[in-house]
Amino acid sequence: MRGGKSTARCYAAALHSPPEAPPLNRLALRLLFALLLTPWLACAGAQAAGAIRVVGSTTFLAFVQHVAEDYMAQTPDATVVVNAGGSSRGYKAVLDGTADVAIVSGKLPDELQREFARRNIVLSQKTVGYRALVAAVHPSNPIRNLSHAELSAVFSGQISSWKTLGVPQGKAIQLLIGPPGGGLTDIWKSEALIDGATFSAKAQVRSAAQRAAMVAKNPDAITYLAMNEDIPGLAYLSINGVPPTARQVANGTYPLRSQLTLVSRVGSGKAVEAFLRHFEKPQPYWVLDGLMFANPN
């Protein structure tokens, strides 16, 4: 956490002692240490109370932490504390006042919407980015585009052979998906699968890193991942003829994306408003740890 001048004053108060103190026994030393530590703890507590508290989606956690660190570097007296917990927890934290800002990638649940209304809490919602979700195949696979309907049919098991999609001598599709209940998997299911389709029972369940490594070695495999600027050994598919570029993701013509929204109470104060404005960057996208986030502005 960052402190600024007030932290320096806290440290100064806690560390000050007479130039020549007489020898003290162990109990006296412990009492003196406690007395000297008290003003520092009081200052630290005051600063924590003034921090901007951010809670929510693990999908966008690293991105929000990155922006928060940049904001604190440019605003020395600011402190931003970012914690994970999921979109639902973020909404609840704003509702009960334990967070100033919720990081969300899903809509407000109906029951929480009613509770906000019951308490007369008005929310401000600011969309600050999108992350593309992409279908990935081995570079030797000649398929580079699928319609949304074909993509849904592949992941639901209705299409089980590459030959059905026009690959000569095409073999059985090796389908790789993420663990049930994972944020990325839930979003892919809701965005990529249509007409109530569910994942094929024959799909292998692996982590994102495992899926990427397996597809890079298997010409018959397909999976989904969060958009990276470039992963060696993988090829990304266009959907309905639209590639997952930053511009296409931001304007919505590429259909598979996860939306990052920051939610706060109306009237949260100038400090929160200043932090939220820091997300309004002019560049079309950020790349953080290889992940690409499209800017909606």
pLDDT tens digit sequence for 48-83: 447 999 999 877 888 899 899 999 999 989 999 999
pLDDT in tens, 109-131: 889 999 999 999 999 999 888 88
- What is the dihedral angle through the alpha carbons of 287, 252, 216, 166, rounded to the nearest 10 degrees? -160
Determine the pLDDT at residue 294: 67
Mean pLDDT of 146-161: 98
Q: Give tens-digit pLDDT for 7-56.
A: 332 222 222 333 333 343 443 333 233 333 333 333 333 334 479 999 99
297, pLDDT greater than 70: no
pLDDT at 150 over 80: yes
Give the SS3 label for residue 103. strand
Per-residue pLDDT reduced to its tens digit, 200-254: 999 999 998 899 999 999 999 999 998 875 678 999 999 999 999 888 888 889 9
Query: Hey, which bits of the chain come out as E strands?
Result: 52-56, 80-84, 101-104, 123-137, 145-146, 174-177, 204-205, 221-226, 235-236, 238-239, 257-265, 285-288, 291-294
Q: Domain ranges in the chain? A: 5-48, 131-251
pLDDT at position 187 is: 86
**Chain centroid, CA 21 distance in Å:** 53
3-state secondary structure of 70: helix
pLDDT at 54: 97
For residue 165, is pLDDT > 80?
Answer: yes
Count of other CB atoms within 10 angstroms of residue 41: 12
pLDDT higher for 18 or 281? 281
Question: What homologous superfamily is domain 131-251 in, according to CATH?
Answer: Periplasmic binding protein-like II (3.40.190.10)
Average pLDDT over residues 178-184: 80
Q: Parallel, antiparallel, or unpaired: how do β-strands 174-177 and 145-146 relate?
A: unpaired
In this predicted model, which residue has the larger pLDDT, 36 or 290? Answer: 290
